[in-house]
Amino acid sequence: MLAPAIRLYRHSFSGLSRDIWLLSLVMLVNRAGTMVIPFLTIYLTGQKGFRLEEAGWVMSSFGLGSVLGAFIGGKLTDRIGYYPVQFWSLTLGGFCFLGLQFVNGVAAMCAATFVLSTIADAFRPANQTAVAFHSRPENRSRAFALVRLAVNLGFSAGPVMGGLIAHAAGYQWLFVVDALTCFGAALIFRLCISPKKAIRHSEDVQEKGLSPWKDGHFLRFILFITLGAMAFMQFMNTLPIFWKTSYGFSEAQIGALTTLNGLIIVSMEMPLAYLIERKLTKLAIIGIGTIFYGVAYFTLSGLSYWAFTPILFMIFLTIGEMLCMPFASAYTADQAHPSRRGQYMGIYTMAYSAALIIGPSLSLWTAQVYGFIPLWFICGGLSAVSAAGILLLKRSTAARTVMEAPVR
């Protein structure tokens, strides 16, 4: 019984290049310092005295910067390569986290978070382009899953440590530790990943392919991904306040609940991706994952004050995330000509960033005026529309053949 499980785990991690493992290590170090964003709404409403609406404006500013950062990062990746974009995004992002703790006032905080997220999120399309470059089409979903495993392994530790640090030493230390992990990740990236391969990547993609802005199929896909992301992103900003106000959870308890998400992903995502990557199309898997988002929010709205509801919600949401996100990243990379992959990955990243713009202000306003339960019904509805759109897109679209670059 144990031997087949061990073989499954071994096979799920096999066949990936050394550079994929190194990119995952960089992400692990960086995300282990994820302490500021999960507690930012609590920090703003508690330590800074912001109203819920004002905290929503700050989070929307963060989302707006994320959109711009993803756009700029994608363009720069196709122009100068993924290597310098990742290194400088990590380095400058660390300085931004250090400075954010000294910002006061709603307008200044909105401006500061905008700059921070613009710089920090330029990293994401560059990193995703690097993952696509160093993977094969047949194992690309698992390559993205491995990087996500590193992200979530770090993320499972970061919020717990963040909650303990905020409680024991004060919120200002969250900014310091987050900055230090950015610097550490930049150092590892510089020392361990060769810039020569990145130069070869830039030389290999001189021929220009179809612009993502002219790819109607891809833009429809992004629309439906954005709707699902608007529901999922409540996990990052609105749900911590809900857990605190409706359940009376402490920062440490909120961090522990967030950690459950990371632990499930760390233990299950790679074997799950290995088992299903050849059995279903990527669009089918993404659609099923988005359905699980809806199940999670409808559970939260129907059983909102049952003691085990937070755990049940997190399990359903995490299953949806494991099915949706690595396969959506791989699907996006598959659609792009190598010369445009940075822009495709940038637009994909922008979908989640756009959800951060629209989501916090509307969701926190809805929660303040109508309460949390109507908000969870809306999130469930968005998930259902997203899933239906993706599954219909699968039925109505023929498979497309794209030029693939060889793995390095």
C-alpha 144/C-alpha 306 separation (Å) is: 35
Burial 135-169 (b: 16+ CB within 10 A, else e): bbeebbbbbbbbbbbbbbbbbbbbbbbbbebbeee
HSE on the CB side for 29, CA within 13 Å?
Answer: 18
This model's pTM is above 0.95: no
For residue 290, give both structure tokens: 């988005």
Task: Assess contact for 121 and 73: CB atoms under 8 A.
Answer: yes
HSE on the CB side for 221, CA within 13 Å?
Answer: 30
C-alpha 140/C-alpha 277 separation (Å) is: 9
SS3 49: coil
Q: What residues contact residue 161 under an 8 Å CB cut-off, 6+ apart?
A: 35, 177, 255
C-alpha 374/C-alpha 365 separation (Å) is: 12
Q: What is the pLDDT of residue 301?
A: 79
Q: What residues contact residue 333 under an 8 Å CB cut-off, 6+ apart?
A: 128, 129, 131, 132, 140, 144, 341, 344, 345
SS3 83: helix
Q: What is the pLDDT of residue 408?
A: 44
HSE on the CB side for 119, CA within 13 Å?
Answer: 17
Task: Assess contact for 93 and 73: CB atoms under 8 A.
Answer: no
Task: Assess contact for 91 and 182: CB atoms under 8 A.
Answer: yes
- Local confidence pLDDT in tens for the 408 residues of the chain: 577 778 888 888 888 888 999 999 998 888 887 778 777 888 888 878 888 778 888 887 887 888 899 999 999 998 888 999 999 999 999 999 999 989 888 899 999 999 999 999 999 999 999 999 888 888 898 999 999 888 877 877 777 777 788 777 777 888 888 899 999 999 999 998 877 666 555 555 555 677 888 888 999 999 999 999 999 988 877 888 888 888 888 877 887 887 788 788 888 899 999 888 878 889 999 999 999 999 999 988 776 666 788 899 999 999 999 999 999 999 999 888 888 899 999 999 889 878 877 777 788 888 888 888 889 999 999 999 999 999 998 765 544 444 444 444
* Dihedral sign computed on CA atoms, order 286, 287, 293, 299: negative
Residue type, 242: F
C-alpha 143/C-alpha 19 separation (Å) is: 10
Find, among 222, 365, 366, 380, the residue nearest to 294 by Cα. 380
